Amino acid sequence: MGRLPCCDKVGVKKGPWTPEEDIMLVSYVQEHGPGNWRAVPTKTGLRRCSKSCRLRWTNYLRPGIKRGNFTDQEEKTIIQLQALFGNKWAAIASYLPERTDNDIKNYWNTHLKKKLKKFQLDQCSGSDDHLFYVENGLTHLSSSNSRGQWERTLQTDINMAKKALHNALSLENSTSPLINIKQENPQVSSSTYASSTENISRLLQGWMRSSTSENSKTSSNNIATTDSSSCDGTPNAESKGGMGLMEAFESLFGLESFESSSSDEFSQTTSPQAEATKVEIKKEENENVEAPAVPLSIILENWLLDENTLNIQAKDDLTTFSFDEIAPLF
């Protein structure tokens, strides 16, 4: 049977969007809010596929998107999160609220992949550039085969992932553009918009001002379903980021270990269950060093997200974790 296409392919325009089309789309969103994309082509007269309209909005016209060069900090964050998540661009993007997953993916493919290749070559030739890559989170690329090397690499990656998470969470609190706009500057700055669409951004500014109160109901509904990083600039870190982490650790260690750990528990720094877990681990270690009852992922989870209280404890857990337990998974 198959799915019906999202729109009639005949007469649908493809390729780059013109400023006029952008304005038509933005005008529609101003009026109706993002959502009901199927109706957009007919209501606006745009000869575009509904999906194309949605993507154009999500990846380009949506408020709060930062364009232009990636900063060193952003680059490091991407590298570190990529090491953690793999090519889960949406998950990575949720930690960089001003960037879209498409942007990050493109940046990775065009810039960072090259650094990756260079790193591999430099490693063969023993270049001093190695330090750069270590600092930027590329140690996971090491072709280390020995167990000791692997463990050191893991340790380094976890440190960097932890840093990245910390940085990302700081970013969320401090640089989310629409939060700042709402909280600090009701006049709304245009600095976060694409320079090429500044005219459109002005339309949006007016819309945002009026919509914060008037459309709060509809826009919150629509926005919440529009994108992984919501339009109000506050990525759903608890659900999305949290799950991303879980997936990351599962993919890292091949363990299905989060079934008993809810996202709420995940967000807690010292949940009773986590404490119980640690006790359990210690107990297990005393009884049987090679068979920890609690997956490594939970240890890492606790350690990553609890800077102060669990650091030393979990580090101990980590360093005493038996590699034999997970070695077959690699």
Partner DNA sequence: AACATCCACAACCGCTCTATC
Partner DNA sequence: AGATAGAGCGGTTGTGGATGT
Point out which residues bind DNA (CB under 7 A).
1, 3-4, 6, 13-17, 35-39, 48-52, 54-56, 58-60, 67, 69, 87-91, 101-103, 105-107, 109-111, 114, 222, 225-228, 240
Tell me the C-alpha distance between 168 and 158, whole Å.
15
C-alpha triplet 45, 50, 55: angle, nearest 5°: 115
C-alpha triplet 191, 225, 38: angle, nearest 5°: 100
The tokens describing 248, both together, are: 């990351």
* Count of CA atoms in the C-beta half-sphere (13 A) of 288: 8
Q: Do 276 and 302 meet the contact criterion of CB atoms below 8 Å apart? A: no
> CB 280 → DNA: shortest distance, Å?
30
Tell me the C-alpha distance between 291 and 306, whole Å.
24
Which of 60/207 has CB closer to DNA? 60
Tell me the C-alpha distance between 326 and 330, whole Å.
8
Tell me the C-alpha distance between 46 and 17, whole Å.
11
Which of 248/274 has CB closer to DNA? 248
Which of 72/287 has CB closer to DNA? 72
Which of 44/228 has CB closer to DNA? 228
> CB 32 → DNA: shortest distance, Å?
11
Secondary structure E strands in the chain: none
Looking up tokens 């299905």 gives 256
> CB 218 → DNA: shortest distance, Å?
12
> CB 116 → DNA: shortest distance, Å?
13
Which of 196/320 has CB closer to DNA? 196
Tell me the C-alpha distance between 88 and 81, whole Å.
9
Tell me the C-alpha distance between 29 and 37, whole Å.
10
> CB 94 → DNA: shortest distance, Å?
7
Which of 102/159 has CB closer to DNA? 102
The tokens describing 36, both together, are: 């009901």
Which of 69/320 has CB closer to DNA? 69
For residue 57, give the nearest of 91, 9, 24, 94 by alpha carbon.
Answer: 24
> CB 277 → DNA: shortest distance, Å?
26
> CB 91 → DNA: shortest distance, Å?
6
